[in-house]
Amino acid sequence: MLSRLEKYSSRGMWFTALLLAAFVAGCGDDETTNPDDPTIPGAGTGTGSGHGPAPVVLGTAGTYAILAKSGVSNTGTSAITGNIGVSPVTSTALTGFSLTLDGSGTFATSAQVTGNLYAADYTSPTPTNLTTAVNDMQTAYTAAAGRTLPDHTELGAGNIGGLTLAPGLYKWGTTVLIPTSITLSGSANDTWIFQIAGGLTQSSATNVTLAGGALAQNIVWQVAGIVTIGTTAHMEGRILSQTQIVLNTGAVANGRLLAQTQVTLSGNTIVAK
């Protein structure tokens, strides 16, 4: 018969073997297979309950679908869901909207905007609120640009057409081109930050598509140069541009357009996310 010590030792070895088997099985998920492969959903630096970098905080800039420092111009008929703001320029820099000033003098309305339009020459507290929002926009841009340890650097030499991009921090020292449709694949808790030292150009009739539950509000395009969204193209995410954002005829954007110069529209659909 086995002694009491031998029985305990045998049981301990059996339990240890079970733990080891569980550990080995857990090492087979996608993140450990190839964390640098941009086609693997979930690859990248996980934070909190999702994968990807910590979110970029917009502050009060996040209360606007479109925010610009030197103006927002529109030709044709656009459909914008969310507020529009310009500062430090006046309401004369809001063109193509057929503005109707509210009786309070603090905002205007337009048949093309489901929301309000704000300018620096409107009644208090609008000027102060806009100054804060613009400062928050610039702070968010700096914060996004300052993120370190990218998961992917110079991916595709700046041409990301046709790729499926997992959550993570992406960095380019050049202009980024989207000549064919791309997919951002991840869950509702995953995040993407695209750091672009040049401009961003999306070709006409191309799509930025979300898959796996990914959300536009978890995507940030930080762009130092001009952002151009082509005719009838579809963009997803929040654009923080140090210069200008241009949407060509019929382009659609789900997210926010936050520019440190101007935003140019041409019969577009914008939905704040």
CA–CA separation, 168 and 43 (whole Å): 7
What the block records as the tokens of 118 is 């704000």
Per-domain residue ranges of the chain: 1-33, 59-272
Per residue in 76-101, pLDDT (tens digit) is 999 999 999 999 999 999 999 999 99
Per residue in 25-72, pLDDT (tens digit) is 333 333 322 322 322 223 233 334 689 999 999 999 999 999 999 999
Per residue in 142-161, pLDDT (tens digit) is 999 999 999 999 999 999 99
Decide if pLDDT at 135 tops 90. yes
CA–CA separation, 167 and 175 (whole Å): 20
Contact yes or no for 134/118 (Cβ under 8 A): no
pTM above 0.85, yes or no: no
Contact yes or no for 118/97 (Cβ under 8 A): no
Give pLDDT, residue 183: 98
Decide if pLDDT at 234 tops 70. yes
Q: How confident is the model at residue 124 (pLDDT cuts 50, 70, 90)?
A: very high
